Amino acid sequence: MNIDEQVNYLMQGTEYGDDTLREAMTAELRQRLIEAKNEKRPLRVYCGYDPRTTDLHLGHTVTMRKLRQFQELGHEVTFLIGSYTSLIGDPSDKDVLRPQLTPAQVDMNARTYAQQAYKILDPQKTIIRYNGEWLSKLTFAQLIELASNFTIQQFLTRENFKLRWEKGDPVYLHETFYSLMQGYDAYSMRADVQVGGTDQLFNIVTAARKIMTFLGEKPNIAIILGILPGTDGVVRMSKSLGNHIPLNTNAEDMYGKVMSLPDFAMGSFFRLVTRWTPAQIDELEAAMKAGTLHPRDAKMKLAREIVSNFYGESDAESAEQAFTRMFQRKEAPEEMPIYHLTNKDLTILDVLVDAGVPLSKSEIRRRIEQKGIRLDGEIIEDPRKPFPHPGVLQVGKRLFIRVVY
């Protein structure tokens, strides 16, 4: 790619909420790429990850995908584990205080993050670092010096802090340290580029760039990415909302969840979690607009692209065949878990729970009320009745269990 093509590729999926800021970051990125080419060096690019959970989903991979794009173009990528920032917890996207983790919890979660990251990043080209390397050495005098760059008003105008302040909920002093710590991360690594989501806009654009300039370094360029919506296509992907696509699943489940996306959400997924270039995406969207590509077929391309990235092309093909068989031909899968019904007095609800359906009893009752559970294609209406006969039990669209005596 020439410089302009690289800029378009790397700015794909970015969202700044301000056209002037986007134009400034685009211009800085172009200039830094030119300088790096003339100096015959790669850009130093990083994204920080606070390993606060082991339950990763597709939304967590958006920034990893952008790091991979930088790798493809020959730049140096650091996967920074927030061993110190995790001890505070980023308040950027929360309107309540985050619980503080212990070092042991951070360490355990960090190992899971790295394993998942290597499904996207090239492990041979990825530098893993922990920000405890430099944050643990900061003196109190240095912290005072960093803090002198910010006002209390700057923090209180941030939406999450503002909401808590207005509700009378506590805003703790240590939460304001997070932005200082992240800014010092960028300075310590002499970063050219920092990648993050829109919830990191203040931390990257305001804090990191200001601190780097204050400490005599050229400010890093902010690549701010949009937040991936969940399977509802509207609200950000979240496990707590149940609209997530987990990474710790299987190819068929991931494929099916992508296919459940509303058509209008496809553009975000095209730009944030695929390996496709701007030209390829433009071609897809033009074909849909012209009517030469059905949205269902475009979504199948999207599902196959995402699944193959995590499970390989062979498993993605199998998942596509299974989806086609189940949903387009209305057939049950060839293979499914088997449940042996040894007690014929068990109710339908008992069998569903005993068979390991991942729903609570109240959720199962709700699903039955919504006519979402079938036995051999027949809708089950009363969970209290004895289980009627052996057959294929279907829960929702994707879970099948063969019940046998």
- Within a 10 A sphere around the Cβ of 187, how many other Cβ atoms? 20
Identify the domain containing residue 380 by its residue range: 338-404
Specify the CATH number for the domain of residue 107.
Answer: 3.40.50.620
> Of 121-130, 183-192, 232-241, which range is least confident?
232-241
Report d(CA 385, CA 389) in Å as an integer. 12
Distance CA 140, CA 290 (A): 62
Q: pLDDT band for 90, please (50, 70, 90 cuts).
A: low
Identify the band that residue 335 occupies on the pLDDT scale cut at 50, 70 and 90.
confident
Span 139-158, pLDDT tens digits = 999 999 999 999 888 887 77
CB 223 within 8 A of CB 25: yes
pLDDT higher at 165 or 92: 165
- 392 vs 52: CA distance, rounded Å: 39
Say what the pLDDT of residue 241 is.
81
Could you tell me if 45 and 36 are in contact, meaning their C-beta atoms sit under 8 angstroms apart?
no
Query: Residues 213, 279: one domain?
Result: no
- Are 308 and 342 within one domain? no
Q: Which pLDDT score, from 0 to 100, does residue 106 have?
A: 76
Give yes or no: residues 178 and 118 share one domain.
yes
Is the Cβ–Cβ distance between 206 and 59 less than 8 Å?
Answer: no
Going by their DSSP bridges, the two strands 126-130 and 378-379 should be labelled as unpaired
**Which CATH number is 255's domain given?**
1.10.240.10
Q: What's the average model confidence in pLDDT over 247-274?
A: 91
Please provide the average confidence, as pLDDT, over all residues in the chain. 88
Residue 72: inside a domain: yes
Residues 323 and 373 in one domain: no
At a CB cut-off of 8 Å and minimum separation 6, what does 284 contact?
270, 276, 293, 298, 301
In a domain, 27, yes or no: yes
pLDDT at 127 over 90: yes
